[in-house]
Structure 1
Amino acid sequence: SLLAGLLVPGAIAFNLDVMGALRKEGEPGSLFVTGPSQNPGQANRTGGLFACPLSLEETDCYRVDIDRGADVQKESKENQWLGVSVRSQGPGGKIVTCAHRYEARQRVDQILETRDVIGRCFVLSQDLAIRDELDGGEWKFCEGRPQGHEQFGFCQQGTAAAFSPDSHYLLFGAPGTYNWKGTARVELCAQGSADLAHLDDGPYEAGGEKEQDPRLIPVPANSYLGFSIDSGKGLVRAEELSFVAGAPRANHKGAVVILRKDSASRLVPEVLLSGERLTSGFGYSLAVADLNSDGWTDLVVGAPYFFERQEELGGAVYVYMNQGGHWAGVSPLRLCGSLDSMFGISLAVLGDLNQDGFPDIAVGAPFDGDGKVFIYHGSSLGVVAKPSQVRGVAVGIKSFGYSLSGGLDVDGNHYPDLLVGSLADTAVLFRARPVLHVSHKVSILPPTIDLEQPNCAGGHLVCIDLRVCFSYSASPSSYSPVVALDYVLDGDTDRRLRGQVPRVTFLSRSPDDPKHQASGTVWLKHQRDQVCGDTMLQLQENVKDKLRAIVVTLSYSLQTPRLRRQAPGQGLPPVAPILNAHQPSTQRTEIHFLKQGCGEDKICQSNLQLVHARFCARVNLTLQGCGWETALFALSGQPVIGLELKVTNLPSNPAQPQADGDDAHEAQLLVTLPASLHYSGVRALDSAEKPLCLSNENASHVECELGNPMKRGAQVTFYLILSTSGITIETTELEVELQLATISEQELHPVSARARVFIELPLSITGVAIPQQLFFSGVVRGESAMRSERDVGSKVKYEVTVSNQGQSLNTLGSAFLNIMWPHEIANGKWLLYPMRVELEGGQGPGQRGLCSPRPNILYLDVDSRDRRRRELGRPEQQEPREQPEPSTSWWPVSSAEKKKNITLDCARGTANCVVFSCPLYSFDRAAVLHVWGRLWNSTFLEEYSAVKSLEVIVRANITVKSSIKNLLLRDASTVIPVMVYLDPVAVVAGGVPWWVILLAVLAGLLVLALLVLLMWKMGFFKRARYRYPEATVPQYHAVKIPREDRQQYKEEKTGTILRNNWGSPRREGPDAHPILAGDGHPELGSDGHPVPGTA
């Protein structure tokens, strides 16, 4: 069926007349043109063929009466879909239309009743009448053949039908034969009495007209061979007719078979092309045409069910370009539609739509929105992959493009037209507009501009005469309407497009034209006639750009004719011509200056070079380690930086100075800045070298004029001042693109100045301890005995202040203030006990932050005085030192006996720390961390009572947890020392501890032991012994001497005689010791007894 719709302007190919499209409507639900569901009268829904006159009326179509009555005992026309296919041979030729669901019946209302859906076709003459003597009224080749679906019971002849290009044969597709293998049939189509001599030519079938052998069909069952059909010469052999049939379900992919006549009854397969994807419906539609006009017919195959999920494609058309009759290895061009569009469900060869010498094709996509039709032009390389229209939007018509018919010139203007159908009971005819090929020429006098020779009427300006001429050609040569072309001349186009003032003014222009433009109209009465228009332009005074050519642009368009309203009953008005869309409608013409200062050859070959570009902290002060490598920027401490630039125009080879280095006309430096930098100004050490620099609105692009011209041997050094307000903590690199430009002859390439960026956060941290000296005293108590913080020891408070000299740190989010609190000494005893930690200012104005971990893990009671003071808002006061308890007792330790000092520091390993971490979410100026703690007296009494002084170190720092790798933190740590002493009051008042007494006792015993050892060494403990063992020891008897008798004995210096009661005196020496013998023993008498007076 041919079903159509109406498109908005610009929806179809450039030369299809959209505004004058003819719209024809049928009865609702009839699937109009050719109405396969139309009701003829006797049957409910049989379909029909309609003829529509070429008029502006939309409802003047009438039914062609070709299918009258129905013998219900032999046939059924209900839902036969008459008009499912319609083909025409062209003007004066025949027409074929089919009803593929026509039923042949036998033994109606009997037990053995049969119904065979064989289908049938009608061949009509040019007057839409049936002339039995030439072509017959009915074509039912499946009638009378074996029944059943495995043979011809579901033949469905006429699903596709066509005429051969020479109109000699009639082609039918019957996809239901042989268990839906399908078949193709070719029959002779007699045109007149001259063809009666060739009645033995055919018919031909793919399975054999006589053999009727399904094994001859080259596709498996359920392939639907014959669903589409066409023919053409030059497919396999030159000038030989071949037949093409589609099988959209062959092997679940689809296939196309090229057949040839082999005998009087057979169509033999020669080429089989298989589909690319499963269930793509390859072969659903097809068309043949010589798309590249090389003499070999090419093949176009539709696959409307093609699907590509990743690219969201739906429907495809494959274009096979014939390689001299060889199809093996041909890679087709695949054209795809949008998802679910059914792109390729209909194809039509349009003929040479734009008269460029190459046939064009149309592709329907009825479910792409409301439906679209794509026009593809042929070319010497085949089909142009880009359609000549981007999209087609139907107005009030659904499924637009479901069927297509083209290649016929309906209105007789020698251009083929296109008929588009739809499922909305509407068809639309688009007539092709004749295409005009315009020739144009612009003449200039004088050909070049000499500024030293003014030629205007005033005598001091330069003027230029312009002439523009037009002519046209069209196909056919007999087509020669009067054509009006509107043209516009635009002066100094390139400079104007750059936003600069044009250098010329048109003197001959209409009042509505701007100064730089001149417009006019030429009337071309016939093909090949040339008509010209003249004008003059004037060069402005004091032109700076003396090297770049003045570009004059000619643009023209076809004057749109006024649409005249047609009266009812009048014929169709002729369609207006249109300019060739593939031919440019503009022309650029350059007017050059006589060049000066460019050497003998008058060609300026400059040698602009960007010697260096480096970042600087300020003018003439280079940043540390910057140059082309690294630059260091603070987040807020450096509002601007400088970019030092040096440009020279020197000969590249001093030995050949004339080779280059000529004047650089309109020398410029184009600077493109990143988003983190903005142009602020320009500086130069020499004011004479300061260029003129201009930037755009957002200061991201800068143009610096280096001179016009920049003379040979010139050098210029200047500084671009750049604002760093756009640098953020995420900025890691600065890249400035630098491009030298000149209108002189020189190939210039962009250069990039790069600098690494380190963000120095403007944070500083300080700390103080209150008080800065602590004293320990008191009683040694265990941890379990602690109830209140006052039981621990002296109180100390630390204040750590973080200052921010820059902007608010809202973007950090992961900055932390950390304090390393020495809570233990190396052996694990308590050192400083943390009571409370508070951060003020890091969370926002008036807010206090929470730090981790939690202090006061022993849950000691807070001093009530501190709590009361905080509630009243009074400042905290230093706590007075506590007096020692009477129970304590130790001996004072002299200063000479104490160690000098000890430092307790976690960094040195003499203490163990707990780290309190406080997040700094946001603060503008300062944040203060308050930490309250207590000195653990017991540890100091046990471990450090003999130490002269102790230094306890508390450390604090700032850390940033961020993925940013270029952050720098200076002054981000601090050390807070506190001196700790033994309380001197406790030393004076205290007693002697037990261990001192113990040491004293041990020391006394040691001295006594040493004395005894010495006396023993001196012989003090030796006893007196007799010389001879046989000597008897004298016996003595103690006699008590009365007191009164003791004073009669007196001492003498030279020997005192002591009297005893025995009357014998004892001899003593002057030292009062007894006188001994020479061997040390007392003298003995003759009787062996000691001499009296000896010991």
Structure 2
Amino acid sequence: MSFLIKFVFLLFCQLPCIHLFNLDTEYPIYKFGSPNSWFGFSVAAHFTSDGPSILVGAPKWTSGQPGTLKSGAVYACKPDSSNGNQCQLLSIEYPNLQEAKKPPNLLHGKHLHPEGKNGQLLGFSVYSSGMREEESSKALVCAPLLRWGQNAYTDGVCYLLGADLNHKGIINTCGPLPKKDRHNDYGSCEQGFSAFIDSNVTLTGIPGARKWTGGVFAKYDFVGSGGFVDSVDRRTMELDKNQGGVLALLASHDYLGYSVHYGRFGFSHEDEKNFTVVSGATRFNQTGAVIFLPFRRNFHAEEGPNLGLLDDHFILSGRQLGSGFGSSLAVLDLNNDGFDDLLVGAPFEYFYDEEENEKGGAVYIYFSKGIKLDKGQSSSNNLIFYSPIIIRGTTRHSHFGASLASIGNLNNDKNGFKGKIFFTTDFVVGAPYHSSGSGAVFVFHGNERAHFSTEPAQQIFANNLPNKPNFLKSFGFSLAKGVDLDGDGYAELIVGAPESNVVTIFRSKPVLEVKLNHQFEQKHVKISTSRSDWGDCALGPSCFSLSTSIFLFDRNLTALKQLNKLFGFGQSPFLCKLEVLPFARGVLPRALFTSNGETKISWPCGSNAVTREEISHQKLYIPVNWTNPLRFNFSISLRKPQLTTINNNNVLLPAISPDQTFHIFGIAFDKLCGDDNECHTNLVLSGALLDLSKRSDGLYQAKVTEKDVLILRLLVENRAERAYLAKLYLEYDETELDEPSVVKRGEFNLNEHKVDIEKRELGKALGFDLLFKLVRSSSERVSASLQFKVFVNSSSVEDFPKDNFWKSEVLLIKEADLQLDGGSRPPIVHFSRGNYAPKDEFDIGPQLIHAYTLTNKGPFYARNVTLKIDWPLRLDTSSPNSDWLLYILEEPLIRHNGQFRRCPIINTNLPSSKLINSLNIYNDATLKLDYYLSKSPYRQRKPRNLILINSTKEEEENLKLIRHGSILQLNSPLWPKWINEESGERVKVVDINCKDNSAHCVQLTCHFDYIGSNDSALIEIRARNNFARITTRAYPDRPQQEDHINLKRPQLELHQAHYAREREEMEESFGMGL
């Protein structure tokens, strides 16, 4: 991959950080619960006839009913800030409130377990429709661990509540589930583990049903033809696997129902009467999934009243094992196209960023394609959604995505992309264990998919909240759907922190709509070339006037009213600031204000901006001659009113739309290029690589051992009118070359004359040298050549663009001197006849270790090194009983850079199973090459128990060797030759080697990715020889020897002799110690 560097005049845009702080974090409202109650485990915004309330679940507290222990509780809290403990304990389990004052026995005519309400977790799930209208205002509260009757089955129950939180009924659908195999059939139903309700649809999740396969219950209320309210129920749990339904796809412990919601995404069955239920199955296939369940008001005959799967079983699957994909869901229309979009939380998904920092939690955003499938397209359900956009948490173990909530059009924005008018829906993501467990929430704004921003519009950290409890923990564990509680047109955010028993309410600031502009009467700023031409401008080559304007739209009356309450009529609520921006990093701004001699000026503004534009005039001057364009940032911010004003009026300071708080613009200068002020230039680029030889084909050539640096000389010449904003780009290989330095011509010292290449200007003609230092590390990539590509351009019109390019190639010659040394441990081996049928490695013969040292003497590194060894394996392969010359016991061991690894046997005619211990004999672990490398250096080798094999008479007959003039009787006889030993004695020897094919050899191959200069690697091969059918003649001075065989290998000699096992063990032990 090439690395692109911009030289000279890199334009950086000095934009303000855009964050719409629409949710007020200076004056949050806290609600406190009892210690250890899990107050805030679930939260919801609800409307009663008395006004808005916050419903809060505290599933570890007591309901107040006699005879119950920690049965759970639900509170209704007023959303105002008058009293943090202004919460009322609700009695919601019985139609008659008097029943709640008695010990529990019956509930809706059914007997309860004697301890059925203890620990039932009432308030585990709390949801409200959030509707202001009384007929549409509903709530749902669940206790997933309630038990009925005398059994130990966990059923769970949900309570339906009306607008005034009065008891309307219960939901308990687990009774009919099979219990033939007790809990192996039934599981632990847990009705209401998750819950949802709006004006028409009620949903409950049942993740423990059918041995934790899970399920969903759905209820749809509608007005029938007679004007009466009717309803239909659908459920997933009652069909067995052979009857279809969800069990055709799901298995035990998939947890369907962990989360529930519904929407209309574009599936063929959807219309105003029919919709699609979505539910998380967090352990499906161990990665989690979202299951789509079509809800049809008029069910098909074959389907019955069951909630089944889509025809093609379409689902959305998680991508990481144990990610918890589907733990949370939100359905909302992010881009206002009329089709619902889907958010899926995966709080346990982990990933590493570019800096290898581990991050945790993710939210998958599935935009609907906005296309309704036809009835016959049910097999095309995979076309409903675009590929997901993923937003991720910023810290480990934050559980980012554990909670999700739609909060409506939080900032009430009406202007979409490029002027398209549409309302968007925003959402909030909870990360309850962010910042070491204190928690955080992140606000994201809806938009069209192509322009959706994965950066949060606002971040709220529990640690930064004012007047918070001593240590706020698990902030963001629960979130309420956004509801406008105070009627100002903006939704409030409700956040639960159950580990601290706190609920926090954030009010939304009304948003002001502001228009900023500027006026400049001249065409461009004229620069005087001499002091005599300065005229009235005594401060510099040029003076000019500039006007700015501010205008407030009256579309949002709420925001304007609050502005008047805080500042009063005729006051200036804003602070305007005009700033001269530097053209590039490190370049001073070129203009100053005459009033203060600085590059910025500010003043109070906006007192009359509602009815007309408020215009301000400023005068500036240019202190010195310059060629850069002028850039300005005109910005506004709200001034902070007195604290007493906020407290007395109980109003919040409005916010300004983020894209309306600044106005960046530029003013052209006289380029001295004619009346049209348009410059036509002709930049000519040339280059050369210094001190390198050049071939006839124009390619440069460099020997790496002689050159540690490369000098690239570039010359840019302008042969026409001025070239403004000239830039030079250089593309080179960053894996072979360090980032270059600019040096003066003829100076190559890396520590001196370094110039920031991003600030170097191109004038009429400019030449400079770039010094590149070659990378010398194991991470570098082997390249046969280096490519240089250079390009120059400017903001002026280029008449001859062909000579704006230059490229060249340098052929690299890298030299490395590799040396191979070999040896044997021990150098001389005495051996006797081997065993015909060895079972233990000691039956074969003496051990020897071939050791090869591969050294790179430099001067450069070596890559992709291959060591090939011709190994004498057997005497003859035509017979299965042929003698083994060097029987390989284990894969070769490589020691390199303080580490050891095995060398797999590759590139041979035989598979590695036929080469390494092909007889599958017993290997002594203490003799293996890596035994002492993987154990403590002080561990002593234990004595071996020798295994003796008794040969049968038939085997002894097979071991008889025939003597017919040759020492060895083989298919191809090996004839001896006479040699003189050092003692002067003349003896017969037989040479067995790979060169003349006297032995059957195989090639062993070991590969090295990288061997640095002056680096070495040790390769060891452990083997034994087994001569089971060889007889030799005796020597007078060697009474136990009969003959002598020499296997000739470079620097390796082996001699055969007969000796006792005690001597063999001593020799082998000595060899292992080397």
**TM-score normalised per structure 1:** 0.54
Are the equivalent residues in 1 in contact too, given 2:274–2:297 (CA < 8 A)?
no
SS of match in other structure, 2:25: strand
2:206 maps to 1:119: no
Q: 1:468 aligns with which of 548, 563, 570?
A: 548
Are the equivalent residues in 2 in contact too, given 1:207–1:213 (CA < 8 A)?
no
1:76-95 alignment, distance < 5 Å: 76-90=116-130, 91=132, 92=134, 93-95=137-139
Per-residue deviation at 1:386? 0.9
CA deviation profile, 1:689-735 (whole Å, cap 9, x unmatched): xxxxxx9974464988776xx4xxxxx798x69999x9999999999
Per-residue deviation at 1:410? 2.3
Per-residue deviation at 1:154? 4.6
Name the structure 1 match of 2:75: 50
Q: Which amino acid aligns with 1:128?
A: L
Name the structure 1 match of 2:593: 506
Are the equivalent residues in 2 in contact too, given 1:299–1:321 (CA < 8 A)?
yes
Unaligned runs of 5+ in 1: 1-9, 106-112, 651-660, 684-694, 711-715, 760-811, 816-960, 966-1095
CA deviation profile, 1:14-65 (whole Å, cap 9, x unmatched): 4222222222221121000310010234322011111222216444433223
Distance 1:611 1:250, change over 3 A: closer
Distance 1:529 1:21, change over 3 A: farther
Are the equivalent residues in 2 in contact too, given 1:355–1:475 (CA < 8 A)?
no
Mapped partners of 1:205, 1:28: distance in 2? 38
Structure with bigger RCO (C-alpha 8 Å, 6+ apart): 2
Q: 1:437 aligns with which of 489, 506, 513?
A: 513
Mapped partners of 1:230, 1:26: distance in 2? 28
Distance 1:226 1:13, change over 3 A: farther
Mapped partners of 2:714, 2:813: distance in 1? 23
Q: Which amino acid aligns with 1:431?
A: R
Q: 2:246 aligns with which of 213, 218, 224?
A: 218
SS of match in other structure, 1:28: coil
SS of match in other structure, 1:442: strand
Name the structure 2 match of 1:1018: none
1:290-439 alignment, distance < 5 Å: 290-306=333-349, 314-323=360-369, 324-326=371-373, 327-329=381-383, 330-333=385-388, 335=390, 336-337=392-393, 340-356=397-413, 357-368=423-434, 369-370=436-437, 371-381=439-449, 384=452, 386-388=454-456, 393-395=461-463, 396-424=471-499, 425-439=501-515
Are the equivalent residues in 1 in contact too, given 2:209–2:237 (CA < 8 A)?
no
Name the structure 2 match of 1:258: 293
Mapped partners of 1:723, 1:150: distance in 2? 74
Mapped partners of 1:757, 1:446: distance in 2? 58
SS of match in other structure, 1:218: helix
**TM-score normalised per structure 2:** 0.55
Per-residue deviation at 1:743? 6.4
RMSD between aligned residues: 5.2
Identical aligned residues as a percent? 25
Q: Which amino acid aligns with 2:193?
A: T
Q: 2:146 aligns with which of 102, 105, 108?
A: 102
Mapped partners of 1:157, 1:195: distance in 2? 32
Distance 1:728 1:80, change over 3 A: closer
CA deviation profile, 1:896-930 (whole Å, cap 9, x unmatched): xxxxxxxxxxxxxxxxxxxxxxxxxxxxxxxxxxx
Name the structure 1 match of 2:216: 184
CA deviation profile, 1:756-797 (whole Å, cap 9, x unmatched): 9999xxxxxxxxxxxxxxxxxxxxxxxxxxxxxxxxxxxxxx
Per-residue deviation at 1:149? 5.2
2:277 maps to 1:244: yes
Mapped partners of 2:187, 2:697: distance in 1? 90
Q: Which amino acid aligns with 1:533?
A: S
Per-residue deviation at 1:181? 4.2
Q: 1:745 aligns with which of 757, 772, 797?
A: 797
Are the equivalent residues in 1 in contact too, given 2:262–2:275 (CA < 8 A)?
yes
Name the structure 2 match of 1:232: 263
The number of residues matched between the two structures is 693
Are the equivalent residues in 1 in contact too, given 2:509–2:653 (CA < 8 A)?
yes
Mapped partners of 1:744, 1:549: distance in 2? 13
2:28 maps to 1:21: yes
Mapped partners of 1:737, 1:183: distance in 2? 62
2:63 maps to 1:40: yes
Mapped partners of 2:154, 2:788: distance in 1? 78
Are the equivalent residues in 2 in contact too, given 1:599–1:662 (CA < 8 A)?
no
Mapped partners of 2:485, 2:662: distance in 1? 30
Q: 1:201 aligns with which of 216, 225, 231?
A: 231
Distance 1:626 1:317, change over 3 A: closer
Distance 1:605 1:372, change over 3 A: same
SS of match in other structure, 1:379: coil
Q: 1:531 aligns with which of 590, 614, 619?
A: 614
Mapped partners of 1:129, 1:477: distance in 2? 37
1:916-955 alignment, distance < 5 Å: none
Are the equivalent residues in 1 in contact too, given 2:540–2:621 (CA < 8 A)?
no
Mapped partners of 1:440, 1:11: distance in 2? 16
Distance 1:403 1:629, change over 3 A: same
Mapped partners of 2:366, 2:75: distance in 1? 35
CA deviation profile, 1:208-237 (whole Å, cap 9, x unmatched): 8xx999946423453444332223356532
Name the structure 2 match of 1:687: none
CA deviation profile, 1:860-909 (whole Å, cap 9, x unmatched): xxxxxxxxxxxxxxxxxxxxxxxxxxxxxxxxxxxxxxxxxxxxxxxxxx
Name the structure 2 match of 1:605: 680
Are the equivalent residues in 1 in contact too, given 2:74–2:123 (CA < 8 A)?
yes
Per-residue deviation at 1:680? 5.2
Q: Which amino acid aligns with 1:97?
A: V
Distance 1:562 1:623, change over 3 A: farther
Per-residue deviation at 1:623? 13
Q: Which amino acid aligns with 1:239?
A: E
CA deviation profile, 1:390-412 (whole Å, cap 9, x unmatched): 86543233333222112211233
Q: 2:573 aligns with which of 484, 488, 492?
A: 484
CA deviation profile, 1:425-460 (whole Å, cap 9, x unmatched): 222222222233321111002232345787747799
Are the equivalent residues in 2 in contact too, given 1:626–1:755 (CA < 8 A)?
no
Mapped partners of 2:775, 2:221: distance in 1? 83
Name the structure 2 match of 1:273: 315
1:495-894 alignment, distance < 5 Å: 495=583, 497-500=585-588, 502=590, 504-507=591-594, 509=595, 511=596, 514-524=597-607, 527=610, 529-540=612-623, 543-545=625-627, 548-564=628-644, 573-582=650-659, 585-593=662-670, 595-596=671-672, 598=673, 602-611=677-686, 613=688, 615=690, 629=700, 648-650=717-719, 661-663=720-722, 679=743, 698-699=754-755, 701=757, 710=764, 744-746=796-798
Are the equivalent residues in 2 in contact too, given 1:176–1:224 (CA < 8 A)?
yes
Distance 1:333 1:734, change over 3 A: closer
Distance 1:758 1:434, change over 3 A: same
Are the equivalent residues in 1 in contact too, given 2:518–2:548 (CA < 8 A)?
yes
2:192 maps to 1:158: yes
Are the equivalent residues in 1 in contact too, given 2:364–2:389 (CA < 8 A)?
yes
Q: Which amino acid aligns with 1:89?
A: S
Per-residue deviation at 1:241? 4.0
SS of match in other structure, 1:226: strand
2:530 maps to 1:448: no
